[in-house]
Structure 1
Amino acid sequence: MTGIPARLTLGPVLFNWPAARLADFYRRITDEAPVDTVVLGEVVCAKRPPAVEVLAESVDRLRRAGKEVLLATLALVMQPRERQAVRDLAVQDDAPVEANDATALALLRGRPHAVGPYVQVYNEETLALFASHGATRLCLGPDLPVEAVVALAARAAELPGFSLEVLAFGRLPLAISARCYHARAHGLQKDGCQFVCGRDPDGLEVETLDDAPFLAVNGVQVLSGSYGCLLPDLQLLQAAGITGFRLSPQAVDMVAVADIHRSVLDGELAAAEGQVRLAALMPEARFANGFLHARAGLDWLAARRTGPE
């Protein structure tokens, strides 16, 4: 164990939730969720109407509640207006920025910033390079086996003021594209999508030709069909030196999800019992942690009933 208290981060909402839902969501997170950091902003699609007033109100409320706020950039920047939006975000002083693509990294160089899971890091020297450019924390992509996570955590521990985070809960981000899968599924073009992604607040499930569960789509983004869950592995990751654990918002009671993870991280709840409680919140969900164990990403290795009850 590192002796450093584990921190919980709530990642950005990836789905096209209406402004009223977002406002209610962040009010409840502010007042009830045991998270230390909240990442706000549109990551997936620049076409989605920005809930500017909601985000501004949420930043203020979260800060007054003692929570740290990060502002996320887009994960795919293609158009001049999108590049300008990233430039505007990079120079603002309202909150630190989390970079999700190389465009943002270049603009933030020399300023303290975070790096999101859409910027892939697979070796220690890349980690050190980002730190030398001003990054103070980094959330690893979800596809790394535990051996790689351990090696990266050891290097991160040598970098002053730098911390490493893993995606502990939520559909896993697998790919992002210029093509809008949601629009195509409804017989629409991307330019005339009618924001149909808003019909699926937790992503649109995709099945194989044999009707087997497969993936989920969210506009231009491909997500895992199962929900990433590292509850069985939190103790292992803490021992490896990971100090940050990210929860990706889903259409479920995220306050309860955060409570479960906080209790397991603090040693107040056994991982197996945490699993039982999470499954009760999401009775139809399929969970996965295969990537961490160098297996197929959709595999699930459940926790044993050990530790405090």
Structure 2
Amino acid sequence: MSGARTELTLGPNLFNWAPERWRDFYFRIADEAPVAVVYLGETICSKRAPLFSDYYEAVSERLGAAGKTVVHSTLGETASRIDRRLVSDVCERTADLIEANDASAALFLRGRPHYIGPLMNVYNEETLRFLASKGAQNICLPIELPFAAACVLCAVAASEKVMIEVQVFGRQSLALSARCYHARAHGRTRDTCRFVCENDPDGLVLTTLERTPFLVANGVQTLSYEYLNLVQEIPALKAAGVVRYRLSPHSCDMVQVATTFRSVLDGTLATGEALARLEELPIDAPFSNGFHHGRPGHGWTVPNTNVRS
């Protein structure tokens, strides 16, 4: 797979945006962003899924008309009957490619070409081979895997004719829970949340007792406070055989983010200059790349070189 052309992808939107804002975001992605693959679908909370149903078809058609491959993502956690029904409906009624984000979706998709999302725990070679034998064609690695482990999995993926995808930008998903943190923070339950998560387009920042930003809550999901940024690691990832590079949507200018990463992948922009451009984004949080370097995930390794991939 190391000889395959690299592709930039846009992961599913993890947050609860107003439906019209959600629609307009993807319309702009279709028209302006240099991404090859766009993942659509609710991966965090089944209660949110109906909010976007009126626009889902129009968004899919707009993306397809722009030449982008649309992949439908499933929930990352199935804790209720409603969750299970949503997963089964997506898997059974969607003819397009589907990304499984938990084992229940993978069960429905066995024997059918499909993708594996980063919320699945693909940590070793045997897991990768098993999923490939069931029809997995693309595997997005968990964000906590260090680069050394990704290299091993890239080698196995090449022999199995599976593409490896790595998230390179955006807050990192750390955990999922049966409880909704957003609802609890406002004195509500998951069933009576009244979609309070819509007030935080990039998640609800949590602080320590010393008022230091620490983590981010997004409904039942815990995210990193820092934004993952692997733009300086692109050359090494390409050399290792990573084919796809995932951006996670946020409220910042994702067209600018995509254009910057695409330029680095094409070798027309040096990593140092790309990092400088990304640092200009109005993001109220630092960047991190700790997991990639086998260190605590919130950490940041200062780039040593300014290279073109």
Range class of TM-score, shorter chain:
over 0.9
Whichever residue aligns with residue 86 of structure 1, its letter is V
Provide structure 2 residue ranges, at least 5 long, that are not aligned to the other structure: none
Provide structure 1 residue ranges, at least 5 long, that are not aligned to the other structure: none
With structure 2 as the length reference, what TM-score do the two structures score?
A: 0.97
Tell me the equivalent position of 1:86: 87
User: Using a 3 Å threshold, how does the CA distance of structure 1 residues 71 and 308 change in structure 2: closer, same or farther?
Assistant: closer
Whichever residue aligns with residue 198 of structure 2, its letter is G
Identity %: 49
SS at match of 2:211: coil
SS at match of 1:282: coil
Structure 1 residues 28-72: Cα deviation after superposition (integer angstroms, max 9, x where no partner): 000000000000010000112431121111111111111000001
2:68 matched to 1:67? yes
Checking the alignment, whether the CA contact within 8 Å between 1:232 and 1:301 is kept in structure 2 is: no
Structure-1 separation of matches of 2:308 and 2:223: 33
Checking the alignment, whether the CA contact within 8 Å between 2:9 and 2:244 is kept in structure 1 is: yes
Tell me the equivalent position of 2:289: 289
Whichever residue aligns with residue 105 of structure 1, its letter is A
Structure-2 separation of matches of 1:213 and 1:87: 38
Structure-2 separation of matches of 1:8 and 1:80: 35
Tell me the equivalent position of 1:217: 217
SS at match of 1:138: strand
Checking the alignment, whether the CA contact within 8 Å between 1:270 and 1:305 is kept in structure 2 is: no
Structure 1 residues 247-266: Cα deviation after superposition (integer angstroms, max 9, x where no partner): 00011000000000000111
Aligned residues: 308
Deviates more, 1:149-158 or 1:280-289: 280-289
Whichever residue aligns with residue 237 of structure 2, its letter is L
2:146 matched to 1:145? yes
Tell me the equivalent position of 2:34: 34
Structure 1 residues 228-283: Cα deviation after superposition (integer angstroms, max 9, x where no partner): 11011011111001011000001100000000000011111111111110110135
Structure-1 separation of matches of 2:77 and 2:126: 24
Tell me the equivalent position of 1:249: 249
User: Using a 3 Å threshold, how does the CA distance of structure 1 residues 47 and 112 change in structure 2: closer, same or farther?
Assistant: same
Checking the alignment, whether the CA contact within 8 Å between 2:154 and 2:242 is kept in structure 1 is: yes
SS at match of 1:191: coil
Tell me the equivalent position of 1:104: 105
Whichever residue aligns with residue 125 of structure 2, its letter is E
Tell me the equivalent position of 2:232: 232
SS at match of 2:160: coil
Tell me the equivalent position of 2:123: 122
Pairing 1:16-35 to 2, within 5 Å after superposition: 16-35=16-35
SS at match of 1:158: helix
Structure 1 residues 173-226: Cα deviation after superposition (integer angstroms, max 9, x where no partner): 000101010011111111111111000000011111111121000011000000
Tell me the equivalent position of 2:190: 190
Superposed displacement of residue 302, structure 1: 2.8
Superposed displacement of residue 285, structure 1: 2.5
Structure-2 separation of matches of 1:131 and 1:183: 38
Whichever residue aligns with residue 168 of structure 2, its letter is A
Whichever residue aligns with residue 51 of structure 1, its letter is F
Tell me the equivalent position of 2:166: 166
Whichever residue aligns with residue 89 of structure 1, its letter is V
Greater than 4 Å deviation, 4+ residue runs: none
SS at match of 1:77: coil
User: Using a 3 Å threshold, how does the CA distance of structure 1 residues 266 and 182 change in structure 2: closer, same or farther?
Assistant: same
RMSD (Å) for aligned C-alpha atoms: 1.4
